[in-house]
Amino acid sequence: MAEPYEKLQRGDGLLLVDVQRDFCAGGRLAVAGADEIVPLLNNWITAATAKNIPVYASRDWHPVRHPSFQEQGGKWPPHCLADSDGARFHAGLRLQEWLAITKGVRFDQDQYSVFDQTGFAVQLRREGVRRLWVGGLALDVCVFASVMDGLQEGFAMQLIRQATRPVNEKDGDESLDRMARAGAIIIDGS
Ligand SMILES: [Zn+2]
């Protein structure tokens, strides 16, 4: 059977959300099973690169005392501090040519979505991208927010189910439902 990544075509883009060390095993905000998605994502990167499909990789990139941190009244332990090892992409991720989308740099608010005040939608249109294939971390947080915003912006959004993991299983399932109801396509298979 054809692999889903063989469907990549002109007008597509590949979006890897926050595949960073702090969200993987041993990280400060490790998501269960996060490391398992890396080989799958590498298949997608290889396929996209071979077809000249643009690859975008977002990264959480927080200042110390970011408002999303618990000490500041936020929800999360400190993670992905700008320039720290934890903010680097997973060492196994074989990025070749890509554009980084940096988010979470503001002092006054968090940005879960790759579209939130980053100019990403403008860049996609500039590059002729109409449909995004999405994987990364975490399903119920930044992936969810990004897919929902992408739909709002008028892009076709295809979530690669096996290439993402939730912080919380129940929230992950609910996120899948909500994304599908909003018009995202949930792709099974590697
Ligand atoms: Zn964050």
pLDDT tens-digit series, residues 69-91: 999 999 999 999 999 999 999 99
Please write the tens of the pLDDT for every residue from 95-140.
999 999 999 999 999 999 999 999 999 999 999 999 999 999 999 9
Q: Report d(CA 44, CA 67) in Å as an integer.
A: 34
pLDDT value at residue 2? 81
Residue 85: DSSP 8-state: G
Whole-prediction pTM: 0.97
Q: How far is the CA of 99 from the centre of ligand 1 (A)?
A: 19
Q: Report d(CA 87, CA 28) in Å as an integer.
A: 10
24 included as an active-site residue: no
Residue (of 188, 190, 114) closest to 155 by Cα position: 114
| Residue span of the structural domain in which 32 resides | 4-187
Residue that the structure tokens 């041993």 belong to: 26
Note whether 7 and 189 are within 8 A (CB): no
Count of structural domains, the chain: 1
pLDDT value at residue 136? 98
| CATH of residue 20 | 3.40.50.850
How sure is the predictor about 1, in pLDDT bands with cuts at 50, 70 and 90?
low
85 included as an active-site residue: no
